[in-house]
Amino acid sequence: MNTLYNDVLYLLACAVNKVKADKNRIESMDLDALYTLCKEHSITALVSYALAEHLKEMSSEQYARWSAEQMKAVYRDMNFAAERANILSFLEENGIWYMPLKGIILKEYYPRAELREFADNDILFDADFEKQVEQYMLSHGYQRKLSDSGQVMEYEKAPCFNFEMHRALYHPNNTVLYAYYKDVKERLIKDSDNAFGYHFSEEDFYVFMISHALKHYKNSGIGIRFLIDIYVYNRAKSATMDTEYIARELEKIEADAFESEMRMLAQTAFGTEDADFTPEQENILEYVFQAGTYGTADILAQNRMKNKIGTVDTSPAGRRRYWANRLFDMERCKVEYPRIYKTKILIPFLILFRAIKGLTKIKSIKEENENLKKLQ
């Protein structure tokens, strides 16, 4: 594994474990390349925390760059907290049950809350109140992104706000996770300090965290931050969590092997003094570092093709097989249009409908096809 990746892992381990970083090692690092990679993975604030004692010894340009990352993190965390409080107050006042998700919870297990960077805040809410939530967000200066998916409404507002309001945790095309979380409210625990807020148990939060990471890992890839999340959460909760329950639930969503592999990798990367990775772990880390925070279009194209036709074949024939498989995806039709699917005679019309619907997304289809062509 290359030196830059090892340097990042070392500084992350220092940060999450509150250990002083070695001055001599920092002096040997390429701080410009380090900064670029950290920005790609949304970990600049955390790494700058590890560098804090050495910042004044850097050049004025590097000092300003790294110092600014912690100040930006504090600014974003404070502003998001205030904006989130307003949204949750609206949900409370209107009797709409809700649950904050992912980074909103995980940041509390970092050395300082603002060091767990995020691009958005995710909130699950009662889908019966979708129109009221939409009206609130739009009336408070937010704009809805056209690219949001079926289970989430995504809103943006200057200068930095992005909220993902989830009607459900997963889209129906993810059959395993959609089925598992379809009646998610039955799994939730009522908050003690409000009227309509809920939360997962420690175990169910961990299972959801792993399910979310696995979804991204299989699709467009996922960055190094998810390994930090796994490490800090296990460090905080492993002594109190019911590991047998977690193992059973992870098996139900076909994530047990993935969780075990990633937990051991996270422990090796951040929980040992001298990380000694296996060749398999190094391959995973290479994949993770190449993905950036939220994955890449190339990785997404590659994984989609593998899932659809069993291999990566970028020839014209391979791409035709891929697009035909996308169009005639009966499993997806079965989930998204169950009533029509049961009426077998209507299936040809359903295929025609999907083809026509695809024409409305011709730009994204062309972009995806170009990404397929670039694959090796």
Give the pLDDT band (50/70/90) at residue 295: very low
On whether the CB atoms of residues 312 and 375 are closer than 8 A, the answer is: yes
What are residue 166's DSSP bridge partners? 124, 152
pLDDT number for residue 294: 46
On whether the CB atoms of residues 351 and 327 are closer than 8 A, the answer is: yes
State yes or no: pLDDT of 250 exceeds 80: yes
Percent of the chain with pLDDT over 90: 61
Give the pLDDT band (50/70/90) at residue 328: low
Rounded alpha-carbon distances, angstroms, from residue 87 to 107, 134, 198:
19, 11, 15
Structure-token match 């200066």, residue found: 141
H helix runs in 94-224, sequence order: 103-106, 130-139, 175-181, 202-218
Q: pLDDT averaged over the chain?
A: 86
State yes or no: pLDDT of 61 exceeds 60: yes
Residue type, 43: I
How far is Cα 137 from Cα 83, in angstroms, rounded to an integer?
11
Length of the chain: 376
161-166 and 152-157 as β-strands: parallel, antiparallel, unpaired?
antiparallel
Torsion angles phi and psi, residue 19, rounded to 5: -110, 140
Q: What is the CA angle 272-211-8, rounded to 5?
A: 35
pLDDT number for residue 26: 92
Q: Does residue 163 sit in helix, strand or coil?
A: strand
What are residue 153's DSSP bridge partners? 165
pLDDT tens figures, 13-34:
999 999 999 999 999 999 999 9
pLDDT tens figures, 118-165:
888 999 999 999 999 999 999 999 999 876 566 899 999 998 899 999
pLDDT number for residue 327: 61
Neighbours of 149 (CB within 10 A): 12
pLDDT number for residue 147: 60
Give the pLDDT band (50/70/90) at residue 275: confident
In terms of phi and psi (left: phi > 0; alpha: psi -120 to 50; beta: otherwise), the region of 102 is left
Asked if the peptide bond before residue 279 counts as cis, ω within 30 degrees of 0, the response is no
Residue type, 3: T
